[in-house]
Amino acid sequence: MAAETAPDIPAGDPKHAVRATRTAGRKIRSVLLDAASRLFRERGLSGTSIADIAAGADAFPSQITYYFRTKEALFVEAACRDMLYLARATEQAALRAGTPRDYTRALVESVTASDAVAFFAEALTLTRRRQDLAPLVERTIERLHAEGLRAYASKIERHGWRSLREPDVTSRRFWAVAIGIMVEGYAMGRSSEALCAEMLRVLGEQATPASDAARLRLVGEAATQSRPEDQS
Amino acid sequence: MAAETAPDIPAGDPKHAVRATRTAGRKIRSVLLDAASRLFRERGLSGTSIADIAAGADAFPSQITYYFRTKEALFVEAACRDMLYLARATEQAALRAGTPRDYTRALVESVTASDAVAFFAEALTLTRRRQDLAPLVERTIERLHAEGLRAYASKIERHGWRSLREPDVTSRRFWAVAIGIMVEGYAMGRSSEALCAEMLRVLGEQATPASDAARLRLVGEAATQSRPEDQS
């Protein structure tokens, strides 16, 4: 219950009008999250203190406890935010891919080039022991899957690709494999290139191109020789 | 280098013959690992102290530092040991499965009924920041994949199943998906049943039964109507 109650007002609270305070609040939160993310990704949870983050954001430690209450809550919020940023960047990176293979490769290269998944996995591990932080993690995973599904479904529809599984499963599978491969690979100090190769290998094909789908139909149904190649 | 050097002899070391000392040492290590595993799985790394583990094993804290040096090294060793135990129990649980679907279900039920994968994933996350512990993790993952591959290859060969991917990829994929699903699911406080359903969904089919393989050959090659059903 305490999580919803406002803590002590930090020293020097400007007491502007509500709207101004909210805008300023959002700005400060964002600056604190940026500094936290940078330090946590570099040094991990136990290697980073609230004082380090305050110094990195040119803020007071009391502002961190005012906006986030605990270092662990800040860790999880920063990791969830970065994970959703990564998911969007990954979709962008794959927008132009013209074949299922190029599409999967673009997604995997984007995901393995960043440590955002490893950061998020650390937040997930932490949340196991801190179930008060689970609702934010749950919302993040729901958004991750919903946005992944939307992007994938629109991509295969636009190109006329045939998904090898239900699109919903494809998107969940993508992130589960990403988390598994990154948690393993980071422990062994693997390079981005090695992570990318391993993830591509484990993921396998996600869809077949329009031409293959047509060919499969030809074999199965002895249909006419039409090939709806890449309509985008 | 320090990891290989013997630390100070603990108080009361019996100084028996080398062989007796080694046997006793193995026994004590094993007792310490059992107590550590129980406490770490219940309370996590930060919720467990060396003193707790010593008390749980009816031992002295100095024995823990003698055999394992640090709490983190003990954590990783206990998690690696439990992971390999789980892998063996999982193979045993799936030995009698007569169809690819039953086989996958038996594997997944066994893996999701225990928190050993979540414990191992926590050790992997820790190892990212403690690369001195990476060699043990690396050996564990190699054994996991090698033993998984051996078990899977022998299973499909014995039953005449057709693997949908290279057997090596199937085994790596299985553990990567397990880690990803468990890290996500434990963060959200999911039940074993929910984890099992989600893992089965994401994993999909791993192989087709002998009868299907024969049917596929029939379609492809118009072969004779023989069905090498379940030879075990």
Whether the CB of A103 is below 8 Å from some CB of chain B: the reply is no
The pLDDT confidence band at residue A147, using thresholds 50, 70 and 90, is: very high
CB contact under 8 A, B44 and A179: no
pLDDT at residue A6 above 50?
no
- How far apart CA A49 and CA A45 sit, in angstroms, is 8
Task: Select from B60, B169, B192, B168 the least CA-distant residue to B116.
Answer: B192
What is the per-residue pLDDT for B232? Answer: 38
pLDDT at residue A212 above 80?
no
Cα dihedral across residues B68, B74, B76, B82: positive or negative: positive
Residue B170 Cα distances to A175, A210, B178, B200, B225, angstroms: 17, 27, 12, 14, 30
What is the per-residue pLDDT for A18? Answer: 74
Helix (H, G, I), strand (E, B) or coil at A60: coil
What is the per-residue pLDDT for A216? Answer: 53
Q: pTM, whole model, 2 decimals? A: 0.83
Cα dihedral across residues A112, A115, A116, A118: positive or negative: positive
Q: What is the mean pLDDT of chain A?
A: 87
Sequence-separated (6 or more) residues with CB below 8 Å from residue B76: B123, B126, B127, B130, B133, B136, B137
Which residues 162-181 in chain B show a CB within 8 A of chain A?
165, 169, 172-173, 175-181
Whether the CB of A109 is below 8 Å from some CB of chain B: the reply is no
Q: Are strands B162-163 and A207-208 parallel, antiparallel or unpaired?
A: unpaired
Average confidence (pLDDT) over A91-102 = 94
Helix (H, G, I), strand (E, B) or coil at B140: helix
Could you give phi then psi for residue B226, rounded to 5 degrees? -100, 140
Residue with token string 């199943």: B161
Helix (H, G, I), strand (E, B) or coil at B211: helix
Is the ipTM higher than 0.85? The answer is no
Helix (H, G, I), strand (E, B) or coil at B151: helix
- How far apart CA A90 and CA B217 sit, in angstroms, is 40
Tens-of-pLDDT digits for all 232 residues of chain B? 344 444 444 555 555 577 777 888 899 999 999 999 999 999 999 999 999 999 999 999 999 999 999 999 999 999 999 999 999 999 999 999 999 999 999 999 999 999 999 999 999 999 999 999 999 999 999 999 999 999 999 999 999 999 999 998 999 999 999 999 999 999 999 999 999 999 999 999 999 997 755 555 544 444 344 444 444 3
Quote the strand ranges of A57-166, DSSP E: 162-163
What is the per-residue pLDDT for B213? Answer: 52
The pLDDT confidence band at residue A19, using thresholds 50, 70 and 90, is: confident
| B162: enclosing H helix or E strand | strand B162-163
What is the per-residue pLDDT for A87? Answer: 97
- How far apart CA A137 and CA A8 sit, in angstroms, is 26
What is the per-residue pLDDT for B99? Answer: 94
The pLDDT confidence band at residue A218, using thresholds 50, 70 and 90, is: very low
Whether the CB of A13 is below 8 Å from some CB of chain B: the reply is no
Q: Are strands B207-208 and B162-163 parallel, antiparallel or unpaired?
A: antiparallel
CB contact under 8 A, A127 and B204: no
Which one of A46, A128, A142, A206 makes the best mutation probe of the B interface by having the most chain B beta carbons within 10 Å? Answer: A128
Average confidence (pLDDT) over A134-158 = 95
A202 contacts in chain B (CB < 8 Å): 169, 172-173, 176
What is the per-residue pLDDT for A12? Answer: 53
Residues A231 and A160: beta-carbon distance below 8 Å: yes
